[in-house]
């Protein structure tokens, strides 16, 4: 795999010639709808695959390796018939391996809403270990607001992907996470018992593989109540053969202040649950100022702390599958527009903006003026930023990654993931 950053004046055809691949393969792999319109700064993932090279007079294994950007050792590994690098001859056919070696095996979770386009789901499932279906909203009496998840569960299982039930403390009237609702659940044993029974019934009836708990904005005074709830439900799930994961805020210290952070007790989650999904995104968010959504330098601070409290193989690194478009100058309280990653590139194309790259944050971005002369700033994810995040998972020996969300297909993400890792399946 090669990540090519488009330069001014380049075309798909000149890029294809540069890497000795067909233009059609670049267009198809990257799912380019307008291949004649590419933007400076845009990334293209080049999947070279295994190629055949016919040796010509004067070539050596060293010069061939240099021309293809691989090591002599890599060529020898896939050509066992070559017993000595000095013994090749004109007309001999040599297999050239891809430049990218896989880093190993990883587990991959993808959050999806039940209304996900089934074609998007079909294309995504081969790259997933778990499909977390968002979400069953908990009610104050311990009942659950039902969702139409049966088709998605069946599609997941048919593809060998483990479906995960998600419960949240989202208030069904306001549509937001509710601290009061969480407190009601976590401080009333009778309501908890009802909730657990409803969860277990749903897991059995819907043929789920496990449970993910995404309780957010819990009051700090309910921290130990939440820990005890996790201990109780974890034991019940384990007895019946289900796994448990939790989604937690991106903390950089145990005593980090703030309603989002204080009740998420990393050491307890790391001890109790099977996977801890760290929501390492939303530095740039809808009502905040223009910032990268998941700047790598900030994400690293979170993981630096997390691995001191949670076994690394239990940690799933959160990766955003979206970007934002802010209006400038930023006014507090105004909302940014959410974009898909492919939509951000299409926008840059349309407004003739060159895409820049922040190497500290490992995030692409650009500015433009709309038809009314108003300036905008856009931050999103591309192949480079995805590679950086997946590399972080390898560097810290994490158990996996988790995407929020997979409802929009981002082909470059899956090309990069597939080039770097084999995805573990548990079904």
Q: What is the mean pLDDT of the chain?
A: 96
**Structure confidence at residue 50 (pLDDT):** 82
Instruction: Read off the pLDDT of each residue in 12-20 and give the average, rounded to a whole number.
Output: 94
The tens digit of pLDDT for each residue in 230-267 reads 999 999 999 999 999 999 999 999 999 999 999 999 99
**Structure confidence at residue 49 (pLDDT):** 78
- 87 pLDDT higher than 90: no
Are 284 and 290 within 8 A, CB to CB?
Answer: yes
- Check residues 67 and 308 and name the one with the higher pLDDT: 308
Q: Work out the percent of the chain whose per-residue pLDDT is above 70.
A: 100
Q: Which two tokens stand for residue 66?
A: 């240099």
Fold match between 1-49 and 54-97? yes
The number of residues in the chain equals 427
- 84 pLDDT higher than 90: no
DSSP assignments along 364-404, one per residue:
EEEEEE-TTS-EEEEE---HHHHHHHHHHHHHTT-SEEEEE
- 2 pLDDT higher than 90: yes
Q: Which two tokens stand for residue 261?
A: 């952070």
**Structure confidence at residue 101 (pLDDT):** 82
- Classify domain 54-97 at the CATH topology level: Membrane-bound Lytic Murein Transglycosylase D; Chain A (3.10.350)
Per-residue confidence band for 48, with pLDDT thresholds at 50, 70 and 90: confident
Instruction: Read off the pLDDT of each residue in 103-107 and give the average, rounded to a whole number.
Output: 97
CATH for the stretch 1-49 = 3.10.350.10
Please identify which residue in the block is written with the tokens 């949240």. 168
- 3-class DSSP state for residue 196? helix
Q: Which residues contact 199 (CB under 8 A, 6 or more apart)?
A: 136, 144, 165, 167, 211, 233
**Structure confidence at residue 100 (pLDDT):** 78
Per-residue confidence band for 118, with pLDDT thresholds at 50, 70 and 90: very high
Are 212 and 165 within 8 A, CB to CB?
Answer: yes
The tens digit of pLDDT for each residue in 320-364 reads 999 999 999 999 989 999 999 999 999 999 999 999 999 999 999
**Structure confidence at residue 280 (pLDDT):** 98
Q: Which two tokens stand for residue 99?
A: 């430049």
Q: Which two tokens stand for residue 329?
A: 């100058």
Q: Which two tokens stand for residue 24?
A: 């059609």
Q: Which CATH architecture has domain 104-423?
A: Alpha-Beta Barrel (3.20)
Q: How far apart are CA 163 and CA 155, in angstroms?
A: 9
- 51 pLDDT higher than 90: no
Pairing of strands 323-327, 421-423: unpaired
User: Residue 69 — left, alpha, or beta (φ > 0 → left; ψ -120 to 50 → alpha)?
Assistant: left
**Structure confidence at residue 148 (pLDDT):** 97
Per-residue confidence band for 27, with pLDDT thresholds at 50, 70 and 90: very high
**Structure confidence at residue 182 (pLDDT):** 98
The structural domains of the chain, with segments of one domain joined by +, span: 1-49, 54-97, 104-423
**Structure confidence at residue 85 (pLDDT):** 86
Q: Work out the percent of the chain whose per-residue pLDDT is above 90.
A: 94
- 69 pLDDT higher than 90: no
Give me the active site residues, please.
216
């Amino acid at each position: 795999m090669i990540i090519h950053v488009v330069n001014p004046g380049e075309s798909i055809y000149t890029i294809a010639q540069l890497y000795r691949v067909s233009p059609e393969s670049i267009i198809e792999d990257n799912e380019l709808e307008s291949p004649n319109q590419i933007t400076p700064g845009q990334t293209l993932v080049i999947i070279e695959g295994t190629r055949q090279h016919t040796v010509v007079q004067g070539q050596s294994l060293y010069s061939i390796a240099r021309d293809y950007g691989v090591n002599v050792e890599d060529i020898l590994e896939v050509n066992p018939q070559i017993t000595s690098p000095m013994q090749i001859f004109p007309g001999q056919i040599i297999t050239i391996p891809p430049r990218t070696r896989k880093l190993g095996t990883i587990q991959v979770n993808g959050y999806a809403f039940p209304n996900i386009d089934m074609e998007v789901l079909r294309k995504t499932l081969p790259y997933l270990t778990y499909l977390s279906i968002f979400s069953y909203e908990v009610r104050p009496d311990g009942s659950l607001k039902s969702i139409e998840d049966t088709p998605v569960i069946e599609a997941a299982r048919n593809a060998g992907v483990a479906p995960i039930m998600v419960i949240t403390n989202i208030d069904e009237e306001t549509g937001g996470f509710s601290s009061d609702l969480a407190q009601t659940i976590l401080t009333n044993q009778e309501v908890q018992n009802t909730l657990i029974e409803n969860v277990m019934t749903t897991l059995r009836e819907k043929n789920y593989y496990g449970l993910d708990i995404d309780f957010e904005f819990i009051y700090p005074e309910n921290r130990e109540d939440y820990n005890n709830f996790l201990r109780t439900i974890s034991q019940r799930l384990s007895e019946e053969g289900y796994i448990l994961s939790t989604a937690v805020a991106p903390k950089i210290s145990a005593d980090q202040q703030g309603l989002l952070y204080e009740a998420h007790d990393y050491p307890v989650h790391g001890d109790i649950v099977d996977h801890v999904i760290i929501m390492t995104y939303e530095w740039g968010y809808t009502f905040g100022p223009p910032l990268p959504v998941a700047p790598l330098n900030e994400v690293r601070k979170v993981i630096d702390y997390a691995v001191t409290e949670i076994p690394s193989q239990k940690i799933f690194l959160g990766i955003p599958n979206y970007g934002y478009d802010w209006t400038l100058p930023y006014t507090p309280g105004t909302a940014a527009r959410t974009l898909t990653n492919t939509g951000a590139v299409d926008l840059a194309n349309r407004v003739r903006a060159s895409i820049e790259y922040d190497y500290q944050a490992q995030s692409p971005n650009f500015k433009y003026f709309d038809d009314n002369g108003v300036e905008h700033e856009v931050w999103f994810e591309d192949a480079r930023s995805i590679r950086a995040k997946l590399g972080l998972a390898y560097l810290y020996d994490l158990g996996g990654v988790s995407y929020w969300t997979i409802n929009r297909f981002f082909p470059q993400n899956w090309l990069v993931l597939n080039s770097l890792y084999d995805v573990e399946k548990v079904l």
